[in-house]
Amino acid sequence: MAAVLSSADALSADSGSSFRLTLSGIFGTISIACWVVLLVPQLVDQWKLKSSAGVSLLFLLVWFLGDIANLIGAVWAGLLPKVVALAVWFCFADAIELSSAIYYRFFYHPPAKNGPSDFESAGGLLAVSSDDDATDDIPLDDLAEESPSGAHSSVWKEYVLPILGVIIIGIIGYFFTNSPTDSSDDSSEEPDSSLSVGPQILGYLSALLYLTARIPQIIQNHRKKSVHGLSLLFFMFSTAGNVTYAAQILLFSSDSRYILLNLSWLLGSLGTVFQDAVIFAQFYIYREKEHGAGVIRLEDELPSRDEA
């Protein structure tokens, strides 16, 4: 009887382990899907506004350096090709976003604006007014968006659907790239417990850069009392990617040495989630103020060459 119970317990443990590995893999592919599309919303916003005034160049630069350290560490440690390929993609996407931001900040010269109509067409803004008549210049489109049905429809289309779409793509991607016969080999992908000191140092350096990158953005938002030109969906993808990435690591193995070896990546991912929460709060506070004013002022939109 004892032997039967022991076999049943072993079967249950194997089943539980297999489920955890599957769940870890699903979270991993969702995280990859989030990273692939991460910068697209910010790039689109900059293209529409023809301005990068909303994003801090120092934020992008420090983040880029963090991804470079991550790439060097992944290559040095001899990690899986897909991990290295993703690290390469991070750096490529960062370079595109940073180049776009620098172009609009320093090299793009918008055509001369003769009045509010030109300003609207060039920057996607709605009106420019003085303090005395700000409430009289609220466009009809803004008033329409204030209705509950319009607001809910906009939130669903701009935020909920893209997030759900990326999650679904990540789940489908997992089952397309992992056959049932491969599940028994998942444990072979666990990082070597003898990971050298060099990659670990680069991992912690990368985590430190990730943790400090958002600080300039938070400070800029606070000083300007505005998040205009900053993509909310960009930070939503970032949060989703970091949370699922951390879940992938924690579900893969609960071994203390494994957790310790991945601690730098856990700190870098989960630490930025708390900073993203601050930025989400700024979106709520400052967008409420901007919407209450009913207008974006010209001096708030034109890029400042000394801001980074």
What pLDDT sits at residue 112? 60
What pLDDT sits at residue 111? 67
- Give every residue of the chain whose pLDDT is below 70, as ranges: 1-16, 111-153, 179-195, 288-308
Q: Are 117 and 126 within 8 A, CB to CB?
A: no
pLDDT digits (tens, 9 = 90+) for 102-125: 999 999 877 665 544 433 443 443
C-alpha distances in angstroms, 53 versus 82, 177, 224, 288? 35, 40, 10, 19
What pLDDT sits at residue 239? 94
**Residue of 231, 233, 225 lying closest to 292 (CA atoms):** 225
What pLDDT sits at residue 76? 85
What pLDDT sits at residue 2? 39
Provide the residue count of the chain: 308
| 3-class DSSP string for 31-94 | HHHHHHHCCHHHHHHHHHHCCCCCCCHHHHHHHHHHHHHHHHHHHHHCCCHHHHHHHHHHHHHH
What pLDDT sits at residue 74? 83
H or E stretch including 272? helix 263-293
